[in-house]
């Protein structure tokens, strides 16, 4: 295993591990799409529209996971004052926003043919998901406008912690205030999910998790390179 | 009249899959371009610093 000039681990044929991971991720997405659109059976009531489930639900799980990372990293930053945790919180919030955006538009495009409406302000799951999106958009706007000082990092961490309160409310909203959004298909206590639905779901979850990890790796690389650039500029009094 | 599942127009499904791919891979492409630009700036700066060293 060699190390190239830009710090990438190479497997000795001039291809680094990041490129291989990118290729594997792309293949995973192709398999997941095939499994979802071709292999997964047509649902009796919703028909072809149920296939949106294989994008909507994995990305909802990823969004919850990302926002949980924001919570953990924010607590760790306030406790340790280590800027690494602050960077992790910011990157996770970006990923959370990206995933939630896809969840919102896929849900809307699923709702239109099945419920006959793009959106309903009466549905608690829809509204709390939008609130979650707005909280973390606010978080990122504060980070963007407040600059990279310690005060902004502290205030953002507090928002990152308090904003998490909305996550369990969003998750349990379908049990508390049932309206349009159905109960979770994969966790129903009365019936187990069929393997014909479960396998495409697991492939989709794996594939989209890999895409998100890839995005996270590139974001971390950008943060590291930007820090190095800023440090060099300061040391040499440039810019 | 009862609606058959074959009557459902799959356009919404295609739009969701296409938009998801565009959003995820578009964002990944944007980040990769940004990373490359910062790497180039960093390398240029290192070259300038090296060339000014006695």
Per-residue pLDDT of chain A (239 residues; tens, 9 = 90+): 555 544 555 555 556 888 899 999 999 999 999 999 999 988 888 888 989 999 999 999 999 999 999 999 999 999 999 989 999 999 999 999 999 999 999 999 999 998 888 998 988 899 999 999 999 999 999 998 987 788 899 999 999 999 999 999 999 988 877 666 776 666 554 555 667 889 999 999 999 999 999 999 999 999 999 989 988 888 877 65
Structural domains in chain A, sorted by start: 2-235 (1.20.120)
Report whether B36 contacts A75 (CB < 8 A). Answer: no
The pLDDT of residue A215 is 96
A229 to B42: CB separation less than 8 angstroms, yes or no: yes
The pLDDT of residue B2 is 47
Please, which residues 11-50 of chain B have a Cβ atom closer than 8 Å to chain A?
A: 12-13, 15-17, 19-21, 23-25, 27-28, 31-32, 34-35, 38-39, 41-42, 45-46, 49
The pLDDT of residue B1 is 42
Report whether A138 contacts A39 (CB < 8 A). Answer: no
What span, in angstroms and rounded, lies between the C-alpha atoms of A97 and A104? Answer: 10
- A38 CB neighbours in chain B (<8 A) are none
Residue in this structure with the two tokens 């009557």, named with its chain if needed: B7
What span, in angstroms and rounded, lies between the C-alpha atoms of A144 and B2? Answer: 53
CA A53, A132, A114, B15 dihedral sign is negative
Gap from A161 CA to chain B (nearest CA, Å): 26
| Entry pTM | 0.86
* A44 close contact with B: CB closer than 8 A: yes
Helix, strand, or coil here: B23? helix
What span, in angstroms and rounded, lies between the C-alpha atoms of B33 and B25? Answer: 12
Report whether A10 contacts A16 (CB < 8 A). Answer: yes
What span, in angstroms and rounded, lies between the C-alpha atoms of A175 and A173? Answer: 5
Closest CA to B13 of A196, A197, A47, A29: A47
Of B13, B24, B41, the CB nearest to A49: B13
């Amino acid at each position: 295993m060699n190390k190239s000039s830009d710090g990438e681990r190479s497997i000795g044929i001039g291809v680094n591990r990041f490129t291989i991971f990118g290729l594997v991720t792309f293949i995973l997405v192709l398999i997941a799409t095939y499994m979802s659109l071709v292999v997964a059976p047509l649902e009796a009531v919703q028909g072809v529209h149920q296939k949106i489930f294989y994008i909507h639900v994995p990305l909802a799980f990823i969004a919850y996971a990302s926002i949980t990372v924001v919570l953990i990293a924010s607590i760790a930053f306030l406790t340790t004052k280590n800027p690494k945790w602050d960077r992790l919180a910011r990157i996770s919030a970006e990923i959370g926003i990206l995933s939630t955006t896809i969840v919102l538009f896929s849900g809307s495009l699923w709702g239109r043919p099945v419920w006959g409406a793009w959106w309903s302000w009466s549905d608690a799951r829809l509204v709390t998901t939008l609130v979650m999106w707005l909280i973390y958009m606010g978080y990122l706007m504060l980070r963007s406008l407040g600059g990279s000082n310690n005060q902004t990092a502290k205030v953002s961490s507090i928002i990152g912690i308090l904003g998490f309160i909305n996550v369990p409310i969003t998750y349990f909203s379908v049990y508390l205030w049932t309206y349009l959004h159905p109960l979770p298909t994969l966790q129903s206590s009365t019936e187990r999910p069929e393997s014909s639905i479960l396998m495409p779901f697991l492939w989709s979850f794996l594939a989209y998790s890999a895409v998100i990890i890839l995005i996270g790796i590139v974001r971390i690389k950008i943060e590291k390179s930007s820090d190095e650039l800023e440090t060099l500029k300061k040391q040499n009094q440039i810019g | 009249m009862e609606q058959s599942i074959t009557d459902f127009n799959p356009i919404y499904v295609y739009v969701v899959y296409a938009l998801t791919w565009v959003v995820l891979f578009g964002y990944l492409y944007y980040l990769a371009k940004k990373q490359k630009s910062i790497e180039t700036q960093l390398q240029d700066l290192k070259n300038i610093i090296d060339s000014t060293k006695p």
